A and B are shown apart, each in its own frame.
Chain A
Amino acid sequence: MAIEVTMPQMGADMTEGALVRWLKQPGDVVKRGDILAEIETDKATVELEAFEAGIVQQLVVAEGETVPVGQVIAILAAPGEVAAVAEPPRLPRPAVRERKVEGGATARPAAPRAPVLEGEADERLRISPVARRIAAEAGLDIRAIAGTGPDGRVLRRDVEDALRAQPLAAASQPTAAPSTPPTPRPTAPALAATTAGRIETASKIRQAIARRMTLSKQTQPHYYLTLDIDMTAALTFREQVNVSASDAQRVSINDLVVKACALALGRHPRFNAEFGDNGLTYHDEINICIGIALDDGLIAPAILHCDEKTLGKIAADAKDLIARAKSGHLKADEYSAGTFTITNLGAYGVEMLIGIINPPQAAILGVGSVLPQAVVRDGAIVVRQVMKVALSADHRVTDGAEGARFIKEIQGILENPASMSL
């Protein structure tokens, strides 16, 4: 059996990836877990691991080529297998959208469609003329639109759906450039031309941020809870553990927040879930994303399996993750497997940060600076180290009272930090 290696989907919004470099060549023996190639996505360059062992039989996609998610990029022969002649690559055939039947009438079986010829090189994008025209007029990238017509053809309705899903940037922010500006065309419509000023083409990462934040705000009804956390004890605790810690294990305030959230999420699993058409999906793993500012945007990769990690391990992994995020060497899971997000602008002196949920997660915790504040304790005014946190949560998944219990749980852990050393 030949093993097909396909362009992986690293993140819900990834539609295509570029093959940067092959690390294996035809004839090479591949073990499970070996790095096959480097893939560039919208966000960064990631390493593609082999999921099965075998011998590289054919590299279907050349270095530098960009291909859609799901397309075969390499073929491995199972160990010991005589290499068969490789089939040419085929585009994945998207599922045909169910037709709406109005008036409760019985659905009629759809007429059989002519199948795509087996083995036929079929790389041309299928798009109807009217869909192509509307997309061109709106400056939409037709390669990013999923087709629901016969044989996956992009139809007028698909372009119109994509247009509706676009952020209403131009309308809501009249002074700013649209967050996903149309690709410049010599005959571009007057959409952008009416606004005086410089137009900068959005980078891929900016487009991704625009798409995901719009998706979140348009589909996830947010509610917000804020709270002051007294970090005086936590700072003392941090000093104590850092005395004996190696450089790698030195704990930051954010590491404390990550650990506290990991513990709280274990006790409040609905904040580690996501809402979908079939109901709530509770995730087995607690993978906490941390927002990392990059020169040209923002990325939120996950520290995997936080529930199984000690504070020291979380601290070490966070440092490694931040370094790799900045150099563009994240792994696929770190992009796509996050279940909760912490965004922290404490280092910038921000008092309070109310975040936008990282879809499809259930909540995000915004963290501000730890600042000395006058607070009342036992009837007296004392100075304590206070950190403001804000929970933004998806109201489809949880309600305010649950949110209150969850954020109080985080507060309790951070105000009694010894429990984090377990």
Chain B
Amino acid sequence: MAEMRFRDALREALREELIRDPRVFLMGEDIGLYGGSYAVTKGLLDEFGPERVLDTPIAESGIVGAGIGAAMGGLRPMVELMTINFSFLALDQIVNSAAKLYYMSNGQINVPMVIRMASGGGSQLAATHSHSLEGLYAHFPGIKVVCPSNPADAKGLLKRAFRDDNTVVFIEHTALYSMKGEVPDDPEFTIEFGKANILREGKDVTIIGYSGSVWQASRAATMLESQEGISAEVIDLRTLRPLDIDTVIASVKKTNRAVIVEDDWKFGGFAGELSAQIMERAFDWLDAPVARVCGKDVPMPYNRNLEFAALPSEEDVVDAVLAML
């Protein structure tokens, strides 16, 4: 185990995978010479050379399309998109090609590609650079959606993503890149997809988050315990596709209450999907309607105060829990 930052854990995963599998290569905007917008790929160009670490033009659709072609041809590409907000430019490639080729070719062609993208607000990057769209990708069958919340998970899940035979959308919250944590050194350390992590056990309410929202949930649980004597269970979903609904349902059957926290907009979002599944599978165990604590229904404001007001806070989570009792 070594303590490292989230971005360093990601880089370690990339390094180890580049070493382990000669089919792996990386491409994206400014990932080589510049080292990546969030310095995740720093040093990798020097270590692995321009054949395996490729700087590309600013052309999201083109680089994802090239990644699909490479994957179809037998390589294991990782494509970095600077932010999830820019992935809209590549949406047709991701949704119409990467997600569907295996199905449409009757299993003859698969697309083993990792698409990394940064997500989340809180850095005053304004409305076109700050959103959280994990739920959007979770909507489409045919791709996997991974959203780590800490350095160890970031490494274990990214290494696992390279070993998947399907396209994996790997989403990193910008507020977590500098987060420190203990990370296993074992080059074979991976974390299975579809296995949620119970971060904290509790008996009165289940608070569910993923990516950055795990930490609003966790801080809210601490406040609930110290200020209200309420025992909250916190679940980190880790992956939205596949979704570990069994862990969520088992917890809700124990606590009878659920709060879902996400930075994304509430309307039509992933929290609504999860809420519906809880209702479908645990209706007779619910003691209160499932609550959703989500981003406000506005494009992300640039103003710092307004930006924080638009994002869900731990106080919002605490209020949602108290309103259920």
User: Contact partner of A130 among B256, B318, B319, B325, CB < 8 A?
Assistant: B256
How would residues 126 to 140 of chain A score, 1 for a CB under 8 Å from any chain B CB and 0 otherwise?
001111110000000
Given contacts A149-B288, A155-B288, contact A108 B322 (CB under 8 A): yes
Q: Which of B229, B285, B288, B319 contacts A105 (CB 8 A)?
A: B229
Binary interface profile of B, 198-227, with partner A (CB < 8 Å = 1, else 0)? 000000000000000000000000000011
A131-B287 in contact given A108-B322, A110-B323 (Cβ < 8 Å): yes
Between-chain CB contacts (< 8 Å), 25 pairs: A101-B229, A103-B226, A105-B226, A108-B322, A110-B322, A110-B323, A111-B319, A111-B323, A128-B256, A128-B286, A129-B284, A129-B285, A129-B286, A129-B287, A130-B284, A130-B287, A131-B287, A132-B284, A133-B284, A149-B288, A149-B325, A150-B288, A150-B325, A153-B288, A156-B256
Asked if B283 is an interface residue, CB under 8 A from chain A, the answer is: yes
Indicate if A100 sits at the interface (CB-CB under 8 A): yes
Taking the nearest CB of chain B, how far is it from the CB of A237, in angstroms? 63
**What separation, in Å, do the CA atoms of A149 and B289 have in the docked complex?**
12
Per the 8 Å Cβ criterion, residues 112-142 of A in contact with B are: 113, 128-133
Asked if B228 is an interface residue, CB under 8 A from chain A, the answer is yes
The yes or no answer to B309 lying at the interface (CB within 8 A) is: no
With the chains together, A82 CA to B283 CA distance in Å?
A: 49
Residues of B within 8 A of A129 (CB): 283-287
User: A141-163: which have CB < 8 Å to B?
Assistant: 149-150, 153, 155-156
Taking a contact as CB atoms under 8 Å apart, the answer to whether B287 and A156 are in contact is yes
Closest to A96 in B: B325
Tell me if B324 is interfacial: C-beta within 8 Å of chain A. yes
Report yes or no: B323 in contact with A100, Cβ–Cβ below 8 A: no
Residue A106 lies at the interface, judged by CB distance under 8 Å to chain B: yes
Q: Kindly report which residue of chain A lies nearest to residue B285, judged by CB atoms.
A: A130
- Judging by beta carbons under 8 Å apart, are A102 and B229 in contact? yes
A153 vs B289: C-alpha distance in the bound complex, in angstroms?
11
Confirm or deny: A198 has a beta carbon within 8 angstroms of a beta carbon on chain B. Answer: no
A99 within 8 A of B: yes
Q: Which secondary structure characterizes the binding site on chain A? A: loop
Q: Which of B205-259 contact A (CB under 8 A)?
A: 226-229, 256
- B residues in contact (CB < 8 Å) with A: 226-229, 256, 283-288, 318-320, 322-325
Tell me, in angstroms, the Cα distance from A253 to B57 when the chains sit together: 109
Please report the C-alpha to C-alpha distance between residue A133 and residue B282 in the assembled complex, in whole angstroms. Answer: 12
Contacts of A133 in B (CB 8 A): 284-285
**Cross-chain contact A150 with B228 (CB below 8 angstroms):** no
CA distance A99 to B325 in the complex (A): 8
CA distance A149 to B323 in the complex (A): 9
Chain A residues lying within 8 Å of B284, measured Cβ to Cβ, are 129-130, 132-133
Given contacts A108-B228, A156-B256, contact A150 B287 (CB under 8 A): no
Residues of the B chain whose Cβ atoms lie less than 8 Å from the Cβ of A131: 287
Given contacts A111-B323, A149-B325, contact A106 B227 (CB under 8 A): yes
Contact status B227-A155, CB under 8 Å: no
- A106 to chain B: which residues have CB within 8 Å? 227
Q: Which residues of A contact B318 (CB under 8 A)?
A: 108
Report the minimum CB–CB distance from A406 to chain B (whole Å): 45
Decide if A130 touches B229 in the complex (CB within 8 Å). Answer: no
Q: How far is the CA of A130 from the CA of B288 in the complex (A)?
A: 9
Given contacts A100-B229, A105-B229, A130-B256, contact A155 B322 (CB under 8 A): no
Having A103-B226, A110-B322, A149-B325, one finds 13 other A-B pairs with CB under 8 Å, namely A101-B227, A105-B227, A105-B229, A108-B228, A110-B323, A111-B320, A113-B323, A129-B286, A129-B287, A130-B284, A130-B287, A132-B284, A133-B285
CA distance A375 to B285 in the complex (A): 68
Residues of B within 8 A of A132 (CB): 284
Q: Which B residues touch A100, using CB under 8 A? A: 229
| Contacting pair A150 B323 (CB below 8 A) | yes
Judging by beta carbons under 8 Å apart, are A128 and B288 in contact? yes
Question: Whole-angstrom distance from the CB of B155 to the nearest CB of chain A?
Answer: 38
Which of B226, B320, B324 has the most chain A CB within a 10 Å cutoff?
Answer: B324
**Whole-angstrom distance from the CB of B223 to the nearest CB of chain A?**
9
Q: Who on chain B is nearest to A127 by CB?
A: B287
B256 A99 Cβ-Cβ under 8 A: no
| CB atoms of A103 and B325 under 8 A apart | no
* B227–A108 touching, CB < 8 Å: yes
Contact B228 A99 (CB under 8 A): yes
Residues of A89-106 at the interface with B, using a CB-CB cut-off of 8 Å, are: 99-103, 105-106
The complex places the Cα of A156 from the Cα of B203 at a distance, in Å, of 13
Residues in B whose Cβ lies below 8 Å from that of A150: 288, 323-325
Interface pair B288/A111, CB less than 8 Å apart = no
| Complex: A415 Cα to B227 Cα, angstroms | 64
Bound CA span A128–B279, Å: 12
Q: Knowing A129-B284, A155-B288, A156-B287 touch, does A103 contact B229 (C-beta < 8 A)?
A: yes
Chain B residues lying within 8 Å of A156, measured Cβ to Cβ, are 256, 287
Q: Which residues of A contact B319 (CB under 8 A)?
A: 111
Contact A130 B228 (CB under 8 A): no
Q: Give min CB distance, B193 to chain A, whole Å.
A: 31
Instruction: Please report the C-alpha to C-alpha distance between residue A106 and residue B227 in the assembled complex, in whole angstroms.
Output: 7
Which of B284, B318, B320, B325 has its CB near the most chain A CB atoms (within 10 A)? B325
- Write the nearest CB–CB distance from B318 to chain A, whole angstroms: 7
Cross-chain contact A101 with B287 (CB below 8 angstroms):
no
